[in-house]
Amino acid sequence: MSGVISDNTVRSSGQVAPLTSATTDANDPARDTNPTDGLGTKWINTTSGQIFICTDATSDANEWTGQTGTSIQPRIIFAGGNSDDASEHQPGVKINELSFRNPSTLGDFVDFGDLVATNQYFAGTSNGVNDRGIFGGGYSPNATDTIQYFTCSTAGNCIDFGNLTEARGVLGACSNGTTDRAVFAGGGLASNPPQYDITTDRIDYITISSPGNATDQGNLVRARDYCAALSNGTNDRGINATGRTFSPEVMRREIDYWTISSTGNSADFGDLTDIRMAPATASSDTNERGLFMAGSYGADYGNEIDYITISTTGNATDFGDMAGADPAGYPVANGVRGHPGGSSNGTGERGFCMGGYTNISSVQSWYKQIEYVTISTPGNSQAFGNLNNMIYGMANCSNTFG
């Protein structure tokens, strides 16, 4: 990656100076490296993902300070959603909280900051080790076109980024990692709740490092809401799958794909093993495997995990099943959940499914459990930890891919 990193700052002689250049290399910067632009120069170790900032550009005595210590802090971020945790929230209330966890260490999520506003059924992505997280769209409480951003490795609140071309929720989002483009695909245009037959086939894009409004990139094969998206990072393929179409109302299983960096419409990729809406997604970045986990079949819910090879079109294959006891105690509902959140730690090979809900015998069961799988190895999920609240319809991203 090269170019201007205009939004980060360092202090130079009491003034705030922009990071004006970036170097990528397989090694750490040498002490006697004299950056052309001096203080604030950014260096990315492409082997480890470590990021260094030059804080003393004295010839042959440079100081390179790693972001948050010696390297970027790997994090998966969960945000917003609809909470039914009576200990902290009134039933059915949209929340604005962000929480995070190091994806390599089992345990519970902890508080990170707040969204610009409460939100549900929005979509998240990032530019990977460049450390910027992005959320867009959702219901807040009505359909919104707001895009917001934050620095993944630094706890704090989200900041306004710009606007989508249409206000919409239950959409998909993915990116091509450090190549710096994010896309938002499909979604529902109705105000609130997202249950009316007004959907879009639009694909928008933004440059993640440059705040501003989204631009129309093209269209999906068909308009639909309750989408789920993923990508293979810098290999530049975006995937959007599942959802619901209307006239008549139909739950979908089809998968679309497109080239993230090129404007144009999506094409047919194949099909999932079953219909579903709003499953959790995860991918192993350049290792080319994408997962679709659990999801809603309308009035029913599933625990299946499907996988695809992102670079090769074709139908999905069964990977395994979600585990985790149903909060209401239904033994037949083991791992079954709709509208969960999904994320991954990129080439670290862990895929995560978190939160969600079921409705069995007119009793709603809301999850706070987080399950994980090893993306390269088919099998059932395992327990990772818990969210702060029982949540569904959240957005997720991570800073762990290239």
Model confidence over 190-221: pLDDT tens digits?
876 666 678 999 999 999 999 999 999 999 99
Rounded to an integer, the average pLDDT of 324-332 is 77
41 pLDDT above the threshold of 60: yes
Residues 6+ apart with CB under 8 A from 218: 203, 258, 263, 264, 265, 266
Residues 6+ apart with CB under 8 A from 130: 1, 5, 44, 178, 180, 208, 209, 399
Give me the pLDDT at residue 62, please: 66
User: How far is Cα 330 from Cα 105, in angstroms, rounded to an integer?
Assistant: 29
Domains of the chain with bracketed CATH: 5-66 (no CATH), 76-398 (2.120.10.80)
Which is more confidently placed, 331 or 226?
A: 226
Give me the pLDDT at residue 16, please: 35
User: How far is Cα 99 from Cα 387, in angstroms, rounded to an integer?
Assistant: 8
pLDDT confidence tier of residue 60, bands split at 50, 70 and 90: low
61 pLDDT above the threshold of 80: no
Q: Do β-strands 22-25 and 15-19 pair in parallel, antiparallel, or remain unpaired?
A: unpaired
pLDDT digits (tens, 9 = 90+) for 93-120: 888 999 999 998 899 999 999 999 999 9
CB 279 within 8 A of CB 292: yes
Give me the pLDDT at residue 294, please: 96
User: How much of the chain exceeds pLDDT 90, in percent?
Assistant: 60
Q: Write out the two tokens for 66.
A: 């790693």
When the pLDDT of each residue in the chain is averaged and rounded to a whole number, the result is 86
Range of lowest pLDDT (42-46, 71-75, 194-198, 219-223): 194-198
User: How far is Cα 269 from Cα 311, in angstroms, rounded to an integer?
Assistant: 10
pLDDT digits (tens, 9 = 90+) for 375-391: 999 999 999 999 988 89
Give me the pLDDT at residue 383, please: 95
Q: With the CA atoms of 150, 152, 153 and 157 taken in that order, what torsion angle do they form, in degrees rounded to the nearest 10?
A: 40
Q: Write out the two tokens for 84.
A: 């039914």
User: How much of the chain exceeds pLDDT 70, in percent?
Assistant: 86
Give me the pLDDT at residue 29, please: 77
pLDDT confidence tier of residue 68, bands split at 50, 70 and 90: very low
Q: What is the DSSP string of 331-348?
A: GGGTT-BBS-EEEE-GGG
Q: Do β-strands 22-25 and 42-45 pair in parallel, antiparallel, or remain unpaired?
A: parallel
Give me the pLDDT at residue 6, please: 39
Q: Write out the two tokens for 119.
A: 């939100």
pLDDT confidence tier of residue 266, bands split at 50, 70 and 90: very high
CB 220 within 8 A of CB 256: yes
Rounded to an integer, the average pLDDT of 147-173 is 95
pLDDT confidence tier of residue 63, bands split at 50, 70 and 90: low
Q: Which of 167, 199, 173 is nearest to 185 (CA)?
A: 173
84 pLDDT above the threshold of 80: no
